[in-house]
Structure 1
């Protein structure tokens, strides 16, 4: 599979999606937005893929939208008439994976500066790790725009006052990787040179587990987030019940009793 702004590779049940516009720190163009969506959906539909990794080429992770492609009004432009299609009623997708349409887990490896719409890749991924060189901020108010979708998502990850500070300080204050780890924005900070290797280690560890059980668990947590506890428990039970009807749900206990590694089929 070949793209112009994204690298896509599949091996060992892992799809690696690499933002590949290093000359502009991987700023999101219209073309990259579409290619990212296509790559995410290709991985989701590929039976050989169990886990995804998202990372970037060069010294930057993603600074958000390509400013050169932003209209003078600051509005998102569409090819069709205004409000003529459903996506126009939804928050702009930009770099974010279509995580509401996906079951497979996503590991995000942040290699450098991450801001603006690049933050969506953090809040919509399932495990986020960062290079020691990574930095985070939101520049919207510094270029005359409202910090909207990105901060609404980030406020569900960071303490509210920290999120508010990031939103209001704009590009004039950056959070380093150590602080991001301290606050829980990322789950691990690694040496810059080991970032890609560590991301694959994490994805490979996930893949040692039953793939359908992993997806059901991810969906249970994602769908239950924000619900009252009792409703979240019911959602989790629904996914648990579905997975009990799979071959892997039989293989797990059987392999344990037979004292051998499980042979997961994803069925």
Structure 2
């Protein structure tokens, strides 16, 4: 059986820029378990590829950058029977989690939600198409937004990050609003996010790699201590606050009503 291609990587050896594309457009570029494993392996490979000096990550199609963990994958991951541990297949999908310190720029097209924040939170800056939207569905489905909220709270003002986390699927942040609050550094012309991100990456890739990677480390270290402490709490919050898996699934499919009587959409 041929394994479907879910992740594409192209490298321009002349510019030193690699373009990483999540390639599951029919699933809104949601990340299944094989894709999560490939992302982890890819970042580790790029650590050792000296021809790559900057990276752009995006999603195939124009409907979504990434919609987080694929629902089928979420139900397939067994969880330890302990409130002190959690099995999260997305914890290692980001470049920093794999000790990659080359600059990574995210080109956001369409929806970016939930588990997509693992990638966005470990990118150095974001460029967005005007149709891009950001939201976090966890609370809607009876799940704690822990890792995602920690990462987003370091990219945007506390009130904006908290509003996104608490409002769930009821509200989406537009690209323009994301730019206003500092989550996005540039809103491009329609369909122009990848090209704009590649232009930035090419400029950065033209500078001495040691200086660039040292700057990435310096910028990251400015927030790393607070991030490390916050992430340490995340597994406990998820274990204690998540609804059981079958109840999450009922909310996800709209078969279950909240205690106040309304049906989740």
Q: TM-score range by the shorter chain?
A: 0.7 to 0.9
Q: 1:160: Cα distance to partner?
A: 1.1
Counterpart selection for 1:218 from 201, 216, 219? 216
Counterpart selection for 1:165 from 140, 163, 172? 163
Distance change in 2, residues 1:7/1:82 (3 Å): farther
Question: How many residues are paired up?
Answer: 219
Unaligned runs of 5+ in 1: 229-267
Residue pair 2:110, 2:131 contacting (<8 A) in 1 also: yes
SS in 2 for 1:31: helix
Q: 1:100: Cα distance to partner?
A: 5.6
Q: 1:115: Cα distance to partner?
A: 0.2
Distance change in 2, residues 1:42/1:88 (3 Å): farther
Residue pair 2:126, 2:185 contacting (<8 A) in 1 also: yes
RMSD: 2.4
Q: Which has the higher contact order (CA 8 A, sep 6+)?
A: 2
Q: What are the residue-to-residue correspondences of 1:102-121 with 2, within 5 Å?
A: 102-121=100-119
Distance change in 2, residues 1:89/1:221 (3 Å): farther
Counterpart selection for 2:42 from 28, 39, 42? 39
SS in 2 for 1:225: helix
Unaligned runs of 5+ in 2: 227-265
Given the alignment of the two structures, is residue 199 of structure 1 paired with residue 200 of structure 2, yes or no?
no
Given the alignment of the two structures, is residue 52 of structure 1 paired with residue 55 of structure 2, yes or no?
yes
Q: Report the TM-score when normalising by structure 2.
A: 0.76
Give CA deviations for 1:99-146 in whole Å, capped at 9, x if unaligned.
461111101100110000102221110021000110000000111111
Residue pair 1:20, 1:56 contacting (<8 A) in 2 also: yes
Which moves more between the two structures, 164-173 or 94-103? 94-103
Q: 1:71: Cα distance to partner?
A: 2.3
Given the alignment of the two structures, is residue 77 of structure 1 paired with residue 78 of structure 2, yes or no?
yes
Q: What are the residue-to-residue correspondences of 1:109-258 with 2, within 5 Å?
A: 109-225=107-223
Give CA deviations for 1:203-257 in whole Å, capped at 9, x if unaligned.
01102211110001111221232559xxxxxxxxxxxxxxxxxxxxxxxxxxxxx
Structure with greater Cα Rg: 1
Q: Runs of at least 4 residues of structure 1 off by over 4 A?
A: 87-92
Measure the CA separation in 2 of the matches of 1:31 and 1:91: 10
SS in 2 for 1:16: strand
Q: Report the TM-score when normalising by structure 1.
A: 0.75
